[in-house]
Structure 1
């Protein structure tokens, strides 16, 4: 099998969690992002990455979300302990102190928390990136694009732990072709916004394989 070839099994793996459950969700509303903790010039890079991933999906962006104001919040930190100092962060992340302790202990560089609406679609995503160490050597556009694509769907909690969702192309760093095809297929209006039956992966494959 060619590297990153789309198969029914690979599509199913994109949304199969470590517990063995198949859990799929896409955004059910326009994405209204806000970014904290970076310089103005990097902000343009991050927002461009979000726009690029939304465009791949054929989804929509908005200046504000009528319910939440901003529904995609990205935080860039130098230490997980900084989360304890952010006002109202405990409202966004339950058991914040325990989560900070776990992330610190693991030496984690990223964490995402999703919120869902009544239909199971994504209504909000809180994305956190801890800079420092090896992350300081990674170009801003690579970090931004990786975070943006991972915020667009409820991917498996293990799918991008070893393999990046990105690839290097002549024009620069891009979303990996198989990932882009699955992302595009996931927002097909004929498919549900959320699914917990692995048969959904076959419907995704039928669209992504032809992408």
Structure 2
């Protein structure tokens, strides 16, 4: 399982580049030695590591490994779930490596070696599945927005400027306060208040756009 391929002697990739390993565990309590031993036996010239959950976006070790890799090198992992947070993330990483002329290999996932014809085919299948997953997400998001619109809501965060807050702001401005002062008194941002005033004016057809009564 962890032995280097016959075509990659002395820790070199099939193209003559270096084999660079990457290992990851989710918590400090987990043992990384199994992964590191397998990567060393596979002939990795250097191994980068991370202690981070699979969903964690920032992984310093992975970032260092990606920056260290050069064309003709191959990134080697013990298992593909050590690299990607999700299938689309994994495919995106491997596509980026391929664009840079770098291979990818998993020691325990049979056939996952993009430097071989069969491995490249498997990766293309993964890429198609990832694209399918992204399409499903887009469709669900679109459907959710259409349902929300049908119920009279727009997508995004709900405005902090409710009709009641807007009325209080206008009352304060009628008494001489500026938009900035009214927003501060109501403990809301002046930008949301500007937007709410502008939207209300446009709806009323005044076109005033919520101009500030001085700053």
TM-score calculated relative to the size of structure 1: 0.26
Q: Which has the larger radius of gyration?
A: 2
Structure with a larger share of its residues in helix? 2
Structure with the bigger RCO (C-alpha within 8 Å, sep 6+) is 1
Structure with a larger share of its residues in strand? 1
